[in-house]
Chains A and B, each alone.
Chain A
Amino acid sequence: MNGTKQPRLATQRKFRFTNDDLWGYIFIAAAMIIFCVFTLYPVFNAIYTSFFNYKPFGSEFIGLKNYVDTLKYSKFNLFYKAAWNTLVYTAVVVPSTLLISFSVAVMILPFSKKTQSVFKAMYYLPGVASGVALSVVWLWLYDSSPDGLFNQLLSVFGIPAQNWLSSTKTSMLSLMIMALLSSHGTQIITYIAALLGIDNSYFEAAELDGATFMQKVRFIVWPLVKPTTLFLLVTGVIGSFQVFMNAYMMTGGGPDNSTTMIGLLIYNNAFEYGKYGLACAQAILLAIVIAIMSMFQFKMMGVDVEY
């Protein structure tokens, strides 16, 4: 079909009106335009910008300098500090959250549907509050005066008041505790859904063999929910690598950069110091690391996850 003149094109369109191709493109048109302008273009633009020293009028091409600057090892290179902080935060928060969520899900299981949904709602509730609201509240819970709630709690055990967020010793720990207590709702609900999907015959067979409760959990439940665990692990790690809100709102990365994470570092480089090129380079490195980690996790768990 080669419509060379305008009127012929119009009739052709009418002719192709029933064609699935045309309908497909009509249906995805709006979505694809939005996708191209607000996702695809920014991604390529980020790669392009990462090779430049960005200036609003006429950026200067500097090749790989942004990447070299990011990765050049020195004591004062914040990137390594931020990467280490992110890694520590992830290594503690993600597995602990998974373990807590799994245990809670198993414990919720024996109750009636009604009780189950009450518990689910209770654990899920912090998840619907905004990060800003939660940060503001936790900021006060960590108040460093002896009247701060956590300090009051410590004084019950005879431990002196701590400087929670403003001491290098406890700042990271404080952010971890907060994450552990406010972000397990979705994990618990996902685990419960997975647990309810396990066929009863597995347990009946295990019972004939005289399996104990812990044996059932260890040899039936845990292997069977492995795809769920993998899914939560991957999404958890991806989310944790990008963590920004808590550090930004509660510590600003301090004290002494002890809570500066990659997400905050990129934000600061871009919007505090205006180093757009450097920020883009670091964001792309982060994306690459996340991609490699996800592939590695899929390999390690050795299962194909069904979406």
Chain B
Amino acid sequence: MNLRIGAFGRQESAAMVLIAAFFSGCFAADSRLLFENGNASWIIEIISTIQALLLFEATVWALRVRGGNDLSALIGDSRIKRALAVFLMLALLLAAMQPLQRFLLTMTQYVFVESKHVTACLYLLPCLFLLTALGAETLVRTARILLPILLVSIAAALLSGVGQYHLYRIHPIPLSEPAKVFTLAGSAQIRAAPPLLALLCIGEGTQDRMAMRSAGRIGAIAGGALAALALFALSMTFTYTQLKDMPAPFYRMLVEVRAENPTLRLDRAVLFLWLGGAVLTSAFYLYAACVLFCKTFRVRDSRPVALCLSGIASALILVLFYETETTAEILEHLYRDAWMLIGLPFPLILLKPRRRKTKCAASV
């Protein structure tokens, strides 16, 4: 088997999960979905991270009880393992598409105004494929290298916008209906759960279940907190009515800062730095999907699957960019109900299937 998982440490895996959690949390495919319930996106982000962590802990516990290093070990026990794997693969594919879709939209609307989505996407596709094909070890090590730079850029972006923040803009918050908040957080699992799901898929590379658990906890908590902080800053910068129709709120925040301080002309550099993080996140999810597919369907090399998945993700993004009524409807349903792709298979994965009695055992 040449799945290119490799071996890596806790810090690298935590860095990868952190980056993935931040970019998945902040750069949803559809701003309307993210901000349709007022400026409560940061609260939803916190709660959905907690929910995802609970799911992760339950899975690690199941791994400890049933013995196994990664998610495919648990899926392998099930009688419908292929169906479960396909469900989770689709979830990871959708999660991979979200940040890319958001950044492509930002680029074509603000940076390369005269360019088409296809052109921009064609630049990203080889990079996405290379990263996915190089495997988990490379991905997590690249994440560890990029993490300090990304953290500095995020911190600089958030701090430089302090002058724009106004607390009154965070209203309305639907805190009066806790059930609704929890439901919204549950439906946001397509953004909160994939970092941990992907880590579970490549768990073999972390070398130890406890190391995986620790990396997942640290990465998800730090990434979720950072994403919540960024969303909170965004909520204080714009009202939710503004945010709903904004294709790239974070970039707009940077542009606002630049308008106030003309000497700070780093908004494009920061945007493209974040694009690097988004591509890395997408490659991480796609690679996790590759591993899941290869292990379930016994494919011996991850690279052909990586090529296929990168191509499918890019093609789907391009198809969804054509703004017709049908695609808009599909898009809305896709991301609104995508939580089911994670929510439905996990109970089946966590439940231990009852073993059939073999003929031999019955005769005895």
Q: Do A and B come from one complex?
A: no
Query: Which residue numbers of A lie inside 8 Å of B, CB to CB?
Result: none
Binding site for A on B (CB under 8 A): none
